[in-house]
A and B are shown apart, each in its own frame.
Chain A
Amino acid sequence: MKKEVVIEVKDAKAKEAINSFLESLLEKNLVSALLVPREVPSKDNVVQNLMTNSNLPVRGPVCRAGTGRRMQTGGLKEVNVISPVLPVSSARIISQMTRLSSYKNPVGVVLRSCEIRALIELVKLKQASLDNLLIIGVDCLGTYSISDYQDLCKQGNSPSDELLRKFKEGREDTKLRKACQVCEYPIPSNADLVIGLVGVDFEKNILLKSGTEKGEKILEKFSFPEFNQSKREESVSKYLSKKIEKRDTLFSEMKGEVSGWENLLSVFSTCINCHNCMRVCPLCYCRECFFESPTFEFDSEKYLLWAKRKGSIKMPRDTTLFHLGRMSHMATSCVGCGLCEQACPSNIPLLKIFKMVSYNVQQIFKYVPGRDLEEPLPLTTFKEDELRSVGEE
């Protein structure tokens, strides 16, 4: 039986209400640590924090012992799980944390849907472990690019408040990252607990829903009132259909823009080969990137030979090969988080390209990345009786 309860919000402060719930998870020892986004001291970005203390000093990273100076403490005040910015996918962080060994005591991780989906793919790739992780998903209302987020902060606005307000008024936010505007999975699945914002009046109540037995047991430790608004499902499906519509528009735009070698090469020719997209991609699973291996180190004369062949060649070389190669490796698992595009210094529209290509690839195998832990990755499995025409044409 899935449990749905509400966290009551005081003075329309949604963030604070969620934080007090997270705080009590630590206080009640239901988790030994929490991985959460926390606002940096300059307030214009967030970073993931692994917290074990629910009463953190508010400013300054170091509490100087013996100086007699008292640090101000403020619980989880700087934690902001609805901050609309995603500098790094937590899936990558959790992979780093659990690759060598899993946790003995429960660790709570607060994630967006795309992060959970990527995490599940990484577990299938044996690069992360869900053992003793309490996955707390948060309804995603979208994120801004890092620079847009910082701009909003500079203007003195709280991006989180602004996003909530816009969402409540049902206004479309065209400033959101393209990836978020066209995301079909903003509502977390496969989470132990879901913090629901869509279809609830988050100025008064926030939905807290259990998705698994583990989550249900946590909720039993609290005495939150039952959730009894039927609006949720309807609002969710409305929210999703808008996004799917936008996604389809994006796909049809794409067909004209990036089609054929000429277009494709001009899109990728501005690539500076920094491999940022690969580094931030939660699904670029190779421990060592093939494109950074000695395979791509050549003798000086070789470059001249290539140049002579065409009279002139672009340097750095092999940028198109890098993107197409990367695509062929991770398209089956791409969750469309768009971090590749956010990290690209040359503004290559990677999200558009990868999202459409991946969608088509995933359709072949009816595979949805992050849907089910038990579903094998398409490239690690096969059926004897499939794709009969391949190899016979």
Chain B
Amino acid sequence: MANFEPKIVGFLCNWCTYAGADLAGTSRMQYPPNIRPIRVMCSGSVDSVYILRALLEGADGVFIGGCHPGDCHYVSGNYKERRRITVLKSILKSLGLDDGRVWIRWVSASEGKRYADSISEMTSHLKRLGPNPVSKYWSL
């Protein structure tokens, strides 16, 4: 397990977190290469099914990045996503599943460091958790 490299699927909002990730890159900040970012127009467009699908396909974690509350370019997308993630986490918890594999963070376009730190943090958290147990089952 020492060499376990978690795979994180990231859904990053075009206006804030994706730009934040860009800034982390252009500023040459170092962070683990474990995230596979997918750019979406708004965190509010990330339906729970996409997150569940990533998890059931074997992703070790799912990271959703959105604008800080109040900063959404579509006014309220992040507020709605906040509720949706709350619902999803509650479902996972009710079914005895680990909701700690789903992270949502508000990262603005100017917070390259916050983005890099978040990914480092999540990677080491998932390393501690170990691989997604779903991967061993054939009966999905």
Contact call B87/A318, Cβ cutoff below 8 A: no
Contact call A357/B91, Cβ cutoff below 8 A: yes
Q: Which of B2-10, B18-26, B31-39, B75-83 contacts A (4 or more CB under 8 A)?
A: B75-83
**In the complex the two chains form, what is the Cα distance from A365 to B87 in whole Å?**
10
Chain B residues in 8 Å Cβ range of A262 = 137
**In the complex the two chains form, what is the Cα distance from A320 to B95 in whole Å?**
12
Please tell me which one of the listed residues B49, B53, B106 contacts residue A391 in the complex, with CB atoms under 8 A apart.
Answer: B106
Contact call A265/B96, Cβ cutoff below 8 A: no
Contact call A360/B139, Cβ cutoff below 8 A: no
Contact call B69/A324, Cβ cutoff below 8 A: no
Contact call B137/A361, Cβ cutoff below 8 A: no
Q: Say which size band chain B's interface belongs to.
A: 35 or more
Contact call A357/B104, Cβ cutoff below 8 A: no
Please tell me which one of the listed residues B47, B83, B87 contacts residue A331 in the complex, with CB atoms under 8 A apart.
Answer: B87
Chain A residues in 8 Å Cβ range of B53 = 321, 325
Chain A residues in 8 Å Cβ range of B140 = 265, 269, 313-314, 317-321
B79 closest partner in A (C-beta): A382
Contact call B49/A310, Cβ cutoff below 8 A: no
Please tell me which one of the listed residues B48, B56, B70, B104 contacts residue A320 in the complex, with CB atoms under 8 A apart.
Answer: B56
**In the complex the two chains form, what is the Cα distance from A309 to B82 in whole Å?**
34
* Interface residue? B88 (CB, 8 A): yes
* Interface residue? A261 (CB, 8 A): yes
* Interface residue? A65 (CB, 8 A): no
A328 closest partner in B (C-beta): B48
* Interface residue? A100 (CB, 8 A): no
Contact call B87/A361, Cβ cutoff below 8 A: yes
* Interface residue? B27 (CB, 8 A): no
Chain A residues in 8 Å Cβ range of B91 = 324, 327-328, 331, 357, 360-361
Please tell me which one of the listed residues B70, B86, B94, B97 contacts residue A390 in the complex, with CB atoms under 8 A apart.
Answer: B86
Most-contacted residue by chain B among A360, A365, A382 (CB, 10 A): A382
Contact call A325/B97, Cβ cutoff below 8 A: no
* Interface residue? B130 (CB, 8 A): no
Please tell me which one of the listed residues B66, B69, B138 contacts residue A314 in the complex, with CB atoms under 8 A apart.
Answer: B138
**In the complex the two chains form, what is the Cα distance from A280 to B75 in whole Å?**
36
B49-87 contacts to A, CB under 8 A, are 49, 52-53, 56, 58, 66, 69-70, 76, 78-80, 82-87
Chain B residues in 8 Å Cβ range of A361 = 87, 90-91, 94
B103 closest partner in A (C-beta): A393
**In the complex the two chains form, what is the Cα distance from A391 to B69 in whole Å?**
9
Question: Distance in Å from the Cβ of A125 to the closest Cβ of chain B?
Answer: 15
Question: Distance in Å from the Cβ of A14 to the closest Cβ of chain B?
Answer: 40
**In the complex the two chains form, what is the Cα distance from A262 to B106 in whole Å?**
33
**In the complex the two chains form, what is the Cα distance from A321 to B47 in whole Å?**
13
Q: A327-B91, A364-B90, A379-B84 are in contact. Are A310 and B138 (CB under 8 A)?
A: yes
* Interface residue? A214 (CB, 8 A): no
**In the complex the two chains form, what is the Cα distance from A382 to B93 in whole Å?**
22
Chain A residues in 8 Å Cβ range of B79 = 382-384
Q: A260-B97, A264-B95, A378-B87 are in contact. Are A391 and B82 (CB under 8 A)?
A: yes
**In the complex the two chains form, what is the Cα distance from A314 to B137 in whole Å?**
9
Question: Distance in Å from the Cβ of A284 to the closest Cβ of chain B?
Answer: 13
Question: Distance in Å from the Cβ of A364 to the closest Cβ of chain B?
Answer: 6
Contact call B87/A265, Cβ cutoff below 8 A: no
Most-contacted residue by chain A among B48, B88, B94, B138 (CB, 10 A): B94
Contact call A364/B87, Cβ cutoff below 8 A: yes
Please tell me which one of the listed residues B78, B94, B134, B137 contacts residue A360 in the complex, with CB atoms under 8 A apart.
Answer: B94
Question: Distance in Å from the Cβ of A321 to the closest Cβ of chain B?
Answer: 5
* Interface residue? A205 (CB, 8 A): no
* Interface residue? B127 (CB, 8 A): no
Please tell me which one of the listed residues A311, A318, A384 contacts residue B70 in the complex, with CB atoms under 8 A apart.
Answer: A384
Q: 11 A–B contact pairs at CB < 8 A? A: A261-B134, A313-B140, A317-B140, A319-B140, A321-B140, A328-B87, A328-B91, A329-B48, A361-B94, A382-B76, A384-B79
Given A317-B140, A328-B84, A393-B103, 16 new contacts (CB under 8 A):
A263-B96, A314-B140, A318-B140, A320-B140, A324-B56, A328-B48, A328-B87, A357-B95, A360-B93, A361-B87, A379-B83, A382-B76, A390-B82, A390-B86, A391-B104, A392-B106
Residues on A lying within 8 angstroms of B by beta carbon are: 255, 258-266, 269, 290, 309-314, 317-321, 324-325, 327-329, 331-332, 353, 356-357, 360-361, 364-365, 378-380, 382-384, 387, 390-393
